[in-house]
Amino acid sequence: MGPGKVKGKKLKIKKVKEFAFCLFTFALLLSSGCASVLGPDVSGDGEIREPATDRGGRDVIESIDFVNNRTYKDKSLQKKLDFEVGDYLDPVLAEAYRRTISEFYRKKGFAFVQVALDSEKLQKGQVIYTIDEGPRVKIGSLKFSGNNVIKSSALKQAIKTKKKKWFLWPRYYVEEGPAEDVARLQNIYYERGFLDYSIAVRREFTDDKTKVHITFEIEEGQTYTVGKIVFIGNEHFDEETLLAGLELTEGQVYNGRLADSHAERILKLYREQGFIDARVEQGPRFVAVRGLVNVQFNIIEGGQFRIGRVDITGNEQTQDRVIRRVLDEYDFAPGRLYNADLAPKQGGGKLEEYVRRETLTEQVIISPVEPSSGALDQKDVSVDIKEGQTGSIMFGGGFSSDSDVIGQLIYQQRNFDITDRPESFGEFITGEAFKGAGQSLKIAAEPGMKVSQYSITFTEPYLRDKPITLDVIGLSWGRGRESYDEQRTKGYVGFEKRYKSRWRNSIGFRVENVDVKDLHTDAPQEMINVKGGNALAGVKIGVGRDLTDDRFNPSEGYTFNAGYEQVAGDEVFGIARGSYIWYKTLYKDLLERKTVLATKVLSATTIGEALPFEKFYAGGTGIYGIRGFEYRGVSTRGLQTNVPPGTAKRLAPVGSDWIFLANAEVAVPLVGDNLAALFFVDSAAIDTGSYRAAVGTGIQIQIPNLFGPVPMRFEIATPFMKDDADEMRVFSFSVGGLF
C-alpha cells in the first residue's frame, strides 16, 4: 500500500468524525432550546420565521393587523397609530395605541368596546389588535327630574349632550359627556343663587345595550339673598367708585353671573390704570341668617406701572412704525400708564387684535418685561410679531340676489410698500414684494352678468403716522338698469380723522362721468333728458361715531353717521344723509349666547334738482334695503315714452328726492355662535306712494374671516304695506350685514 493511499484514507476518517461531531452539537443545542441562535425560528404552529431585526439587532414590526373590526376599515384605524411596518418594535408604544383605538371607538359611541393586543405575536414582530366593538349606543331619551325653578327646555339648551343631531340623525353616547354636563348644570344653579344644589346623572341601558336613557337628577335647594356687599384690599379706589355700575344689590337674589361681571368691571378699572398684576375675586360668604349671604370682593391691587421702552421683534418685512402707530393711537406708548385691560400680561387682549388686523400678521403677542432702566414703577413692552401672507392673487366669483353672478380676478397687497420692489417675478406672484409700509393696494377686475367693475384702490390708514385714513380710488363701473345702461368712470380722494373719543370726521372729493346709454324704446323722459355723458364733481363732509362693543359683531351700543355732499357739473345740487343704528342684547341663554336686537333709522334727501341716477332707490339688501321688495323696486316712477297716447304707464324707476327707512331685526342663536335665526321688519317711505313695510325671517351663518366673522344671509320676506307700482321679491341672499 503506497503512501498516497494511506493519506487519503486518513482524510476520509477525519471528515466522518467531524460530521458526527457537528450532528451531535446541533442535537445538543436543539435539546437546550438554543436553536434560534444558529438558525430559523420554529414556531408552535409549524411556521418557520426568520427573526425580524434591524442592523442594530433590534426587533422591527413585520406586520400590523386588525381583527373583527366591522365599522371602521383597517386603513382608518392605521391612521390612529404612530408607527408602521418596518419601524422599531416598541411593546410599550403598541400597548399605548391599543388604548388609543379603544378611545377612538368610545368617542364614536361604542361604549362597551374591548380592544386586545396579542402579546405572543408581538414578540415575533406581529402587531395584532383584536376588536370587540359591541353595540353602538344611541341616546334614547334625555330627562331632568327635580328642577322646579329652571325649565327643562332651558337646561337642554345649556348642556352638550343631545338626543338628535341636526334634528334628524341620532346622537351616540359618550361616557364623559353627561359628567361634563353635570358641571355645567352646577355652574348654572350656583350663578342663580342656588347654593345648596345637588346634581347627579343616572344612566339606564336597554337589555341589548343599544340605547341609554339619561336622567339628570336635581335637588335645587333654596335661593340665597344678598345681605351686604363687601370690598377687601382696595386702596387706590374708594368703595363708591367700585360700586358704580353694580347690578347686584342688597336684598336681591344672589346672582353669580352678575357678581362675576362686576368683578370683571372692577378688574378692568384697575388694569386701565396700570395695575398689571391686579386680581379681583368674588364669592358669597354665608352668615348666621339662613338664606342670606354677603357678597365679598377680594382685591389684590399689585403695583401701578407706566410704559418704559417698547421693543418690536419678529417683523422682518413690516416696518416698526407700522406697528408703533397702532399702539400710539390707543395711548400705548412710553410714559403712559400700562393699560393692562387692552394688553393683559397673559395675552389675548384687544390691542393684540387691533395690531394683527391692521398689519395682517398671523400672531401678535404683547407682554410686559422688566425695565432696562431698572425703574420700579415701569415695565418695558415686548411686541412679538409673526408675519403672515398679506399679498395674494385671487381667482373666484360670487353671487347675490341684487347683483347676480360676478367673476373676480383680484391682486391685493394689504401691507403695501411702493419702495419694496420685487427681485423676481415669483416674489410678485406670491405677494412677498411691495410689502412692509402698512398700506393697502387692490387691483380688481370683476366682470358680471348684471354688474361689472374694474378698480384700483389705495389706502393709507395712518397718513404721516397720524390716525388719519387716506383713500384713493379709480373706478370703472357698469350696470344694466331697468330702461338703460349706466356706466360710471370715477376718481375719488378721501380723508378720515379718528379721535380717541371714537368720533371721526371725514372729507372726500370725487370727479365722475356718468354715461347713460342704450336706452330702451319705452324709457321715461327723465332718463332721455340725461342720455350720454354727465360730468360731476363733488365735495363731501361727514361726521360719525361708533360706540358699539364689537366692530364686527356688535351686541350693545350704537353707530351714528351724518354727511353732506355738494355736487356741481351739468346740474348743481346737494345730498344730505344721516343714519343711526342701535344694538341691544335682549337675552343671554345658559351658554352665554346672545339674542340681539338691531334697529336702524336712515334719512336722506337731495337739495336742488338732482340727476335721476343720484336720487334714492329702495329695495333688496344693502344701505337702502327693504327685504321683500326687488332691488330698486321702491322708487318714484317715470312715464313711458314712445307708446300710443292714453296707454302710457308709470313703470320705470327714476329715483326719489328723499327717503326714510326704519328697520328692526332680532338674531336668535340656534347652534353654537355661527348659526342664528333672523326675524325682521323693514319699512320705508319715499316721495311718492304709501308707506312700505315687510316682515320676514331667515338664517344667518357666520363665516370666519381674518378681520372678524362675516355673515351670510338667506332671507324670506313678505310685504304687508306696498304701492301698486312696487316690485316684490320674496327671497334674498347676501354676504355681509344688513346694517
Lowest model confidence (mean pLDDT) among 160-174, 213-227, 680-694 = 160-174
Query: Is residue 98's pLDDT more than 90?
Result: yes
Q: Which of 635, 632, 687 is nearest to 657 (CA)?
A: 687
At residue 364, φ and ψ (nearest 5 deg) are -135, 130
The CA distance from 51 to 684, in Å, is 85
Q: What are phi and psi of 46, to 5 degrees?
A: 85, -5
Pairwise CA distance, residues 104 & 133, whole Å: 11
The answer to whether residues 304 and 236 touch, using CB atoms and an 8 Å cutoff, is yes
Q: Please name the amino acid found at residue 414.
A: R
Range from 352-356, 389-393, 596-600 that averages highest in pLDDT: 596-600
Give the count of alpha carbons within 13 A of 508, CB side only: 23
Instruction: Give me the pLDDT at residue 224, please.
Output: 93
Among 570, 539, 543, 572, CA closest to 559: 543
Q: Order the strands of the 138-145 sheet from edge to edge.
A: 138-145, 211-219, 198-205
On whether the CB atoms of residues 506 and 494 are closer than 8 A, the answer is yes
Task: Fill in the amino acid letter for 555.
Answer: S
- For the stretch 241-285, pLDDT in tens is 999 888 888 889 998 888 998 999 999 999 999 999 999 999 899
- pLDDT for 394 equals 79
Kindly state the average pLDDT of the residues 217-226: 92
CA geometry: angle at 264 spanning 261 and 266, to 5°?
115
Please give the angle made by the CA atoms of 645, 650 and 652, to the nearest 5 degrees.
120
CATH code for the domain defined by 306-386: 3.10.20.310
CA-angle at 258, arms to 285 and 268, nearest 5°: 100
Question: What confidence tens digit (pLDDT) does each residue in 665-683 have?
Answer: 999 998 777 889 999 999 9
Q: Is residue 53 very low, low, confident or very high in pLDDT (cuts 50, 70, 90)?
A: low
Helix, strand, coil fractions of the chain, as percent rounded to 5: 20, 45, 35
pLDDT in tens, 126-139: 999 999 999 999 99
Residues 6+ apart with CB under 8 A from 317: 387, 415, 420, 432, 435, 436
Distance CA 94, CA 81 (A): 9
C-alpha angle 701/705/708, rounded to 5°? Answer: 85
pLDDT level of residue 553 (50, 70, 90 thresholds):
confident
pLDDT of residue 607: 96
Beta bridge partners of 396: 408
SS3 category, 258: helix
Read off the pLDDT of each residue in 145-157 and give the average, rounded to a whole number: 90
List all residues 6 or more positions away from 112 whose beta carbon is below 8 Å from its beta carbon.
134, 135, 137, 209
Measured between its terminal Cα atoms, the distance across the chain in Å is 124
* Cell output for 22: 457537528
- 637/56: higher pLDDT: 637
Cα–Cα distance for residue pair 435/319, rounded to 1 Å: 9
- Name the residue among 302, 377, 303 with its Cα closest to residue 335: 377
DSSP strand pairing (211-219 vs 225-232): unpaired
225-300 and 461-735 agree in CATH topology:
no
Query: Three-class SS string for 229-246?
Result: EEEECCCCCCHHHHHCCC
pLDDT at 108: 93
Q: Which amino acid is at 193?
A: G
Cα separation, 412 vs 431, whole angstroms: 8
Confidence of residue 154 (pLDDT cuts 50, 70, 90): confident
Where do we find the cell 327635580? 146
CA distance 596 to 258: 19
DSSP assignment of 458-469, as one string?
EEESSGGGSSEE
Higher pLDDT, 400 or 69: 69
Position 739 scores a pLDDT of 54
CA–CA separation, 582 and 547 (whole Å)? 10
Per-residue pLDDT of 497-529, as tens digits, reads 999 899 999 999 999 999 999 998 888 989 999
CATH architecture of 461-735: Beta Barrel (2.40)
- For 601-633, the pLDDT digits (tens) are 999 999 999 999 999 999 998 889 999 999 999
Evaluate if residue 46 carries a pLDDT over 90: no
What percent of the chain lies above the pLDDT cut of 90?
61
Q: Which residues pair with 116 in a beta bridge?
A: 130
CATH match of 138-219 with 3.10.20.310: yes
The residue length of the chain stands at 739
CATH of 43-120, one of 1.10.3470, 1.20.58, 3.40.50, 3.10.20: 3.10.20
Task: Find the radius of gyration of the CA atoms of the chain.
Answer: 38
Let me know: does 312 contact 324? Beta carbons within 8 Å: yes
Element (H, E) at 391: strand 391-400
Element containing residue 652 per DSSP (H, E): strand 650-653
pLDDT tens column, 305-355: 999 999 999 988 888 999 999 999 999 999 999 999 999 999 889 899 889
Confidence of residue 715 (pLDDT cuts 50, 70, 90): very high
Dist CA 570 CA 637 (whole Å):
23
**In the chain, what are the domain boundaries?**
1-39, 43-120, 138-219, 225-300, 306-386, 461-735
Helical (H) or strand (E) element with 75: helix 74-78
CATH number of 225-300: 3.10.20.310, 3.40.50.300, 2.60.40.1180, 3.40.50.2300? 3.10.20.310
CA dihedral 315, 319, 322, 323 (to 10 degrees): 30
pLDDT digits (tens, 9 = 90+) for 223-250: 999 999 999 999 999 999 999 888 888 8
Max Cα distance, the chain (Å): 151
DSSP 106: H
Q: Say yes or no to pLDDT of 26 above 70.
A: no
Q: pLDDT at position 389, please?
A: 78
Q: How far apart are CA 158 and CA 221, in angstroms?
A: 20
Question: For 485-572, where are the E strands, in sequence order?
Answer: 485-498, 503-517, 532-546, 557-569
- Return the pLDDT at 30: 41
State yes or no: pLDDT of 656 exceeds 90: yes
Q: What is the pLDDT of residue 6?
A: 36
Read off φ and ψ for residue 206, nearest 5 degrees.
-70, 165
Does position 710 have pLDDT exceeding 90, yes or no? no
User: What's the CA gap between 362 and 12, in Å, rounded?
Assistant: 85
